Structure 1
Amino acid sequence: MPFVDIHSNEDYCALYYITNTTFNNVAGFDFDKPTVCILPPQFLDSGWLDSQFEDPRLNDDYNIIAFDIPRCCGQSEFRPSGRTDSWTDAADLALASRALNLPPMHILAFEGMATTCALRFAALFPEMCLSLALCNVPPETELMWIYSAYNELIQTWCYTEDIEGYEYIASEAVTFAFGANTSVALRDEVIGYWSTNTYPQKRQRALSQANLVMNRTPLPPAALQSITQPILMIHGDANETAPRKYAERLATELKAIFYPVKGGAGYLNLTPGTASIVNQVYVKFLSRLPRARSDPPEYPTSTHERMRDALSMLERITGETTMSTRDPMCPLSFCALEDKVVKTQTEMMRHYGKEQTLAFVPFNPVTKRPLRRYSERPKDEWAELEKEGTPASRRYTAAGTSVNERPLPMPQSEPILPNEGRLRKANFNAMQSVEKQVIKGSMAKVVGSQTPTLQKLFL
């Protein structure tokens, strides 16, 4: 399997990647074709990009490479650390591109973690980035009600102790991310993927992904001004977790082309209808740009010198005067989080790592497959009987939700202040999460209450 090893005195990671070449390597790239780098949607990996890799409009006319970035997703391996943010993801992508001798690329990024990484990559390494296409850009910081939901979900997720509890919280996460009307097949597929890739025995990996989402910081104005590449922003106008108004505001600041997908919500690349629209709009966007070749680049400076220049640029952007003293070959040196946030993330990483190898595993250790499909789980007959007056044949819709539970509209709130959420998390005690019991209920009721903590809302 293809990996790029990135190592330094302080850090190590191995980034997994795939390509659309015959032997899945960059040596098979056609020099006459432009190269597109795809960053997968958050909480998933490059294996969920079939709609792009199998579309002849992209596959036939472009060299395609997709990384499992951030390093805590997919098949990439990493050493857990509290010094990670989207700037470190951008440094990972740059080091991997230099190691593979990749030409300047068009970047196609899906959802929150990927789009924040792509923007920072374009700011620090403009010569490597020909254009940006950003799908479903989130607000500059997480909305308060979403932050509260994530805070509860991640703790319950990482410390569940049985298959029923894991399936329940995973289903709630699907509803939260994809919507209440998610099809049975997609729900089964997503929960099956999480069951074999992000489960309690890998809770440090899950926490690392949550930290990137919950602790992200706004992109400084100096960084926005340094992004001069052509930009396309595609956004689902029905996306309630990433409201359209914030994406439109960023598009105005970046002078980007903004394309709303009518009826589109989250994860535009996974639904067949919206995936085709995204591909069509993206190909038309690329066709209007000068056609670039993919000849092996001739770098004027060494990798060490280029990363040192990027670190100096990041120092000017953030105003953090100690960055120039850090090791430029270590991606962790690019972390721009405040010291107290790094300390909090480090403490939480240590807590989550305790007895991690003894935690619950929701798959068969021999076959490495989920214990069962979510749709094939035994139904709770007592809960069924509570729905008085509803015939058994009509109690559930095709999406697996109760016909008596109509999805409630998502609450409205503003993004959290830069430090507000992190100060709450500093007092987290992992041992308290072990003792929590999963109390079942509708996610619509959970997010509709907008209370500071969601444990009381699973009722």
Structure 2
Amino acid sequence: MPLLTLSSNVSLNYEINFQDPLTKERKETDSPADCPVSKPWLLVLHPIWLDLTWDRPITTDQDYLERFNIIAFDQRAHGRTQSVISVCNDLNTLAADMAFAIQKLTLPPVNVLASNSWASDIAIRLAAVFPEKVHSLFLCGLAPDKYTDSVNGAIRECFACLTTPETAEDWDEVRIGALHYFFFGGVPLDGGLMSVIDEWTGPMLRRYPPSKALDCGAVGLTEMSRKPDTKALKESVVAPVMILHGKDSSVFTAGEAVERFSGYSNVGEGSKLKLVDDAPLLLVPMHLDVIKEEFFEWIQPKLKRQAQSPQSLVPSQSNFQDNLLTLARIFDNPEIAQRDPFTSDSFHTVRSSEEPGLKALLDMLESRQSQSFSLYGGGAPESWTDASLEEKLPWR
């Protein structure tokens, strides 16, 4: 897998898929120059906690590749991306990483498909702060503008159980319980749903055990530091937007999604929100056919207009100083404008007064993560802990 170095702090793992014009077969490449220049680009954003492999049912699908060159990244602190853990990472930083990557790869403005509500928040910030990089947004789920006290409490409880569990059961159960609560609330557990939950929780078992609490904390902070949309942010999104939202979602409800989307007064022509019957919040991978049908029907007129404008396929150049000023204005934070505009590390909304508390949290996680226990009894630490070989295999 190729790595794209954005700064000394982050190198993004990425994957490009395209359809060979002659054989019509799917191909992978490290270089956008290998892709058909006449095709628009689709950027697919994966959910927080997972990686780009979650979206391969989309990024490798021939129907999508007929229409797009497709690129996907492992976000900062995710997957195979290499990044330095910092308190100053939030959803805006992840969005800025995408903008800097688009510029470094000399891509034209992209159409964005966000595969869950957390990815949708990244896409919205990308479109608001870097509008020159985005043609359209297709969002699979939209969280409420402001979380309820019960949701905030659930997030804190889940975070604590993942990073500083009292028992192995606390950690093991929260992976499944949290996923069902947030993404499948209101939907009965059955065999198909359990396989999806297993598919989601597998990466968390491997990547975020208690012995890697610091890594888990770096990801969790992006969601825990989430700030409600400001009026200025909503007014800054001018690209066309379509949202698919599961009608049966009981935590991030359809009504809350409708209410939040109604505040985006400047979105482009054809913007709309559609509810999916008999569907939870998480639509990938259980509702891929619905996503494909709705996305293609919605995007086709826009692709025709883009094809009539040669400029739409020309690489866009951002003035990152202007983008940084936009972020400062959107969140009414003058500190932001004083930072270095030539690194995506600067594009965050963490105030200097907040940094000591966040650093103390990460320091605590780092001190706790060396503690280990056995998930399956017997007292021997699991293979992913930092315990010695003798401790892991006492029977030898």
Please, what TM-score do these two structures have when normalized by structure 1? 0.72
Task: Provide the residue aligned with 1:2 in structure 2.
Answer: 2
Deviations 1:266-310 (A, max 9, x none): 220121xx22101110111110112347755263xxx6xx11111
Q: Indicate which of 29, 39, 42 corresponds to 1:33.
A: 39
Flag the 1:211–1:161 CA change in 2: closer, same or farther, 3 A.
same
Q: Compared with structure 1, are the counterparts of its residues 64 and 158 closer, same or farther at alpha carbon in structure 2 (3 Å cutoff)? A: same
- Contact (CA 8 Å) 2:48, 2:118: kept in 1 or not? yes
Task: Give me the identity figure in percent.
Answer: 25
Contact kept, 8 Å, 2:88 with 2:348, in 1: the verdict is yes
Deviations 1:311-365 (A, max 9, x none): 1122222222232221112323221134443332221111111153554597655
Give the alignment partner of residue 320 of structure 1, picking from 320, 328, 333. 333
Query: Which residue of structure 1 aligns with residue 118 of structure 2?
Result: 113
Paired with 1:238 and 1:75, the residues of 2 have a C-alpha distance of: 34
**SS at the partner of 1:32?**
coil
Write the distance in 2 (CA, Å) between the matches of 1:208 and 1:143: 23
Classify the secondary structure of the residue corresponding to 2:235: helix
Q: Which 10-residue stretch deviates more, 175-184 or 307-316?
A: 175-184
Listed as ranges, the matches of 1:133-172 within 5 Å are 133-160=138-165, 164-172=169-177
Q: CA RMSD of the aligned region, Å?
A: 2.4
Q: Which amino acid aligns with 2:2?
A: P
- 1:350 aligns with 363
The 8 Å contact of residues 129 and 327 in structure 2, kept in 1 or not, is answered as yes
Q: Which of 348, 363, 369 is residue 335 of structure 1 equivalent to?
A: 348
Once residues 118 and 88 of structure 2 are traced to their aligned partners in structure 1, the CA distance between those partners, rounded to angstroms, is: 16
* Residue in 2 that maps onto 1:65: 71
> What secondary structure does 1:88 align onto?
helix
Amino acid at match of 1:137: L
2:195 match: 185
Corresponding residue SS for 2:57: helix
Alignment of 1:68-107 (within 5 A): 68-69=74-75, 71-107=76-112
Q: Which runs of 4+ in 1 moved over 6 A?
A: none
Q: Which amino acid aligns with 2:69?
A: N
Counterpart for residue 293 of structure 2: 280
Label 1:309 to 1:238 Cα distance change in 2 as closer, same or farther (>3 A): same
Query: Which letter does structure 1 place at the counterpart of 2:42?
Result: V
**What does residue 211 of structure 1 align with?**
221
2:272 to 238, 248, 257: 257
Shift of 1:189: 2.3
Question: How many angstroms apart in 2 are the aligned matches of 1:72 and 1:360?
Answer: 24
Task: Tell me the amino acid that sits aligned with residue 36 of structure 1.
Answer: L
Give 3-state SS (helix, strand or coil) of 2:306's partner: coil
The 2-side partners of 1:340 and 1:214 are apart by 16
**Distance of 1:270 and 1:58 partners within structure 2:** 15
Q: Check conservation: 2:43, 2:111, Cα contact below 8 A.
A: yes
Change (3 A) 1:238 1:308: same
Question: Is 2:42–2:111's contact at 8 Å kept on the other side of the alignment?
Answer: yes
- Opposite residue 44 of structure 1, the aligned amino acid is L
Residues 99 and 147 from structure 1, CA distance in 2 versus in 1: closer, same or farther, beyond 3 angstroms?
same
Equivalent in the alignment of 2:248? 238
- Asked if 1:202 corresponds to 2:212, the answer is yes
Specify the alignment match of 1:129 in structure 2. Answer: 134
Aligned residue pairs: how many?
A: 355
Q: Which residue of 2 aligns with 1:307?
A: 320
Post-superposition shift, 1:45? Answer: 1.6
Distance 1:359 1:24 in 2: 40
1 or 2 for the larger relative contact order (CA 8 Å, sep ≥6)? 1
Q: 1:235 to 1:350 in 2, by over 3 A?
A: same
Report the CA distance shift for 1:165/1:323 in structure 2 as closer, same or farther (over 3 A).
Answer: closer
Q: For residues 28 and 359 of structure 1, what CA distance do their matches in structure 2 show? A: 47
In structure 2, do the counterparts of structure 1 residues 174 and 195 end up closer, same or farther at CA, with 3 Å as the change threshold? same
Residues 134-181 of structure 1: per-residue CA shift (max 9 Å, x gap): 121101222211211121111112234876554323222232234351
AA aligned to 2:238 is T
Cα offset for 1:49? Answer: 0.9
Answer yes or no: is the 8 Å Cα contact 1:161–1:359 preserved in 2: no
Letter in 2 for 1:63: N
d(CA) in 1 for partners of 2:360 and 2:223?
18
d(CA) in 2 for partners of 1:361, 1:206:
19
**What's the CA shift for 1:97?**
1.1
| Matched letter for residue 276 of structure 2 | V
Give 3-state SS (helix, strand or coil) of 1:65's partner: strand
Question: Where do 5+ consecutive residues of structure 1 fail to align?
Answer: 367-459
Cα gap change, 1:268/1:321 in structure 2, threshold over 3 Å: closer, same or farther? Answer: same
Aligned to 2:12: 15
Question: CA distance change for structure 1 residues 243 and 329 in 2, over 3 Å: closer, same or farther?
Answer: same
- Secondary structure, counterpart of 2:262 in structure 1: helix
| Structure 1 pair 7–54 and aligned structure 2 pair: CA distance change class (3 A) | closer
Match of 1:297 among 315, 330, 345: 315
Q: CA, structure 1 residues 326+62, in 2 after alignment: closer, same or farther (shift >3 Å)? A: same
The aligned residue for residue 379 of structure 1 is none
Task: Call closer, same or farther: CA 1:178–1:250 in 2, change over 3 Å.
Answer: closer
